[in-house]
Amino acid sequence: MDTAPTLKIAPNNAAFHTLAADIFMGALDRMQDRAAAKNGPIRVVLPTGSTPLGLYRELIAHHAHRRDLWDRFHYVALDDYAGLAPDDRRLFSNWLDRDILKPLSIPSSHRTIFNSAAPSPSAECARMDALLDESGIDIAVLGLGTNGHIGFNEPGSAFDAQTRLIHLSADSLAANAAYWGGIDHVPHTAYTLGLGHIMQARETILLVQGSHKADILHRMLHDPISTALPATALRRMRNVTIIADQAAISAAEPSPQT
């Protein structure tokens, strides 16, 4: 499936999560043979945020028995706050530990995460890039920021950007405030994988839910491809599936294809 993004639309909240889980498990299945042939892992980038939580619950409830896949599963961090202690509950790696990795018994040896407290951020970024240069990303699951960001690739991020430390935009600070009970609790700097590596993912699943995402989804699908709207990069990528709910799509696409 090497084509323009495929758009899948879920009529309601429950269907959104089931559809996301089915599509994600299909992608894992497709990567399984390749990984098994090399006796290697399936490297998967996962987002935090509100949108993927239902997917994670669905995977734990209905797909945990697929040990053949989970035993090969290797989590690669998409982004994370910088400057926090390893046990800080706000770290995205700890959030994902709580909400998906531990419930699915993914061992810590199957995780590539940022060292938030690394003394040299540039060395930390170089370490991630070296790993990604070597192995690449098999599956990237992504969310869409209301400002069009992907990971923390904020508007203006180059499509060949590498892993780096960024300052959260005002939009992202406000959006992240919802996770931690107020903007005062949101760190101002974060690591993010660059679009350069994300765009090379073998398969990508973008999750978009809610009427507050309708405008940015419409722009992502129809505006000129530009670094001003980082999510338009997905239109240059291979094997992209966008899963949207009706609320996100109705304003965006008058005649949706399912």
Q: Specify whether the CB–CB gap between 157 and 165 falls below 8 A.
A: no
51 lines the binding site for ligand F6R (CB under 6 A): yes
| Closest distance of CB 255 from ligand F6R, Å | 25
The least distance separating ligand F6R from the CB of residue 112, rounded to whole angstroms, comes to 15
Among residues 123, 108, 140, which one has the least CA distance to residue 31?
140
Q: Which is it for the CA torsion 246, 240, 236, 233, positive or negative?
A: positive
Q: Which is nearer to ligand F6R, 73 or 152 (CB)?
A: 152
**What are the tokens at 53?**
């939580």
Strand ranges of the sheet holding 79-81, from the earlier edge strand across to the other edge: 79-81, 189-192, 164-167
- Catalytic residue IDs: 79, 147, 149, 154
Stretch that binds ligand F6R, among 33-41, 49-57, 125-133, 155-163 (CB under 6 A): 49-57
Interface of this chain with ligand F6R, residues 60 to 99, rule: CB under 6 A? 78-79, 92
- Residues from 212 through 251 that contact ligand F6R (CB under 6 A): none
Q: How far is the CB of 192 from ligand F6R (least distance, A)?
A: 8
- Is 48 a residue that touches ligand F6R (CB under 6 A)? yes
Phi and psi at residue 83, to the nearest 5°: 85, 10
